[in-house]
């Protein structure tokens, strides 16, 4: 039997935590909210706060170690997204962008190019401000990911 559907949120600066909680509650899914500092979460037996030690990539490592088929990872961190896609997880950005085998290579290349430009002193634009449309796109993408996993036989917890 396939693993149950579990959601992992890379919670530092994630603008769609509340939306994720609502969708998870509707489907009866477990959620792990991972950060290196205490973050308020709703009182629910299905939502767990995971506070990891401070340090580079500690939260990312915690999530990546658990990413597997049946997992949904919510992150804006492209290297973490790549690790989770490789592990077979469904991966969504906060804007609803789905990362998969076909898209993660280009996303990594773009991220690395922008990082190199910034390191060379080039001024680059940051991400566009988060908009209501992004929230709507995210909700749709999360619902689609849950439905796809349910059709593949992954149960709720």
Query: CB neighbours of 29 closer than 8 A, spacing ≥ 6?
Result: 5, 6, 7, 23, 46, 146, 156, 157
Query: Residue 154: which residues within 8 A CB-CB, separation 6 or more?
Result: 2, 3, 4, 5, 69, 70
How far is CA 144 from its chain centroid?
14
Task: Look at 54-58, 124-128, 147-151 and tell me which has the smallest mean pLDDT.
Answer: 124-128
Exposure class string for 58-74: b at 16+ Cβ within 10 A, else e: ebbebbbebbeebbbbb
pLDDT tens digits, 100-117: 877 765 666 665 555 666
Q: Is 12 helix (H, G, I), strand (E, B) or coil?
A: coil
Q: What share of the chain is helix, strand, coil (3-state, %, to 5)?
A: 40, 15, 45
Per-residue pLDDT, averaged over 43-69, amounts to 95
Predicted TM-score (pTM) above 0.75 = yes
Rounded to an integer, the average pLDDT of 15-22 is: 96
Q: 103, exposed or middle or buried, with CB in 10 Å at 0-12, 13-18, 19+? A: middle
The pLDDT value given to residue 56: 84
Give the residue, 26 or 117, on which the prediction is more confident.
Answer: 26
Please list, in sequence order, all residues whose beta carbon lies within 8 angstroms of the beta carbon of residue 152, skipping any fewer than 6 positions away: 2
Q: Looking at residues 11-36, what average pLDDT do you find? A: 95
For domain 6-151, the CATH architecture is 3-Layer(aba) Sandwich (3.40)
pLDDT bin (cut points 50, 70, 90) of residue 118 is low
């Amino acid at each position: 039997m396939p693993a149950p559907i579990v959601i992992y949120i890379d919670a530092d600066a994630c603008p769609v935590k509340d939306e994720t909680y609502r969708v998870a509650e509707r489907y009866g899914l477990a959620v792990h909210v991972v950060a290196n500092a205490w973050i308020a979460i709703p009182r629910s037996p299905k939502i767990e706060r995971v506070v990891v030690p401070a340090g580079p990539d500690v939260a990312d490592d915690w999530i990546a170690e658990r990413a597997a088929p049946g997992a949904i990872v919510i992150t804006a961190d492209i290297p973490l997204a790549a690790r989770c896609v490789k592990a077979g997880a469904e991966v969504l950005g906060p804007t609803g962008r789905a990362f998969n085998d076909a898209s993660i290579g280009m996303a990594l290349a773009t991220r690395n190019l922008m990082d190199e430009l910034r390191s060379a002193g080039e001024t680059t634009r940051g991400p566009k401000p988060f908009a209501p449309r992004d929230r709507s796109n995210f909700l749709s993408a999360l619902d689609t990911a849950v439905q796809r996993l349910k059709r593949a036989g992954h149960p709720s917890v």
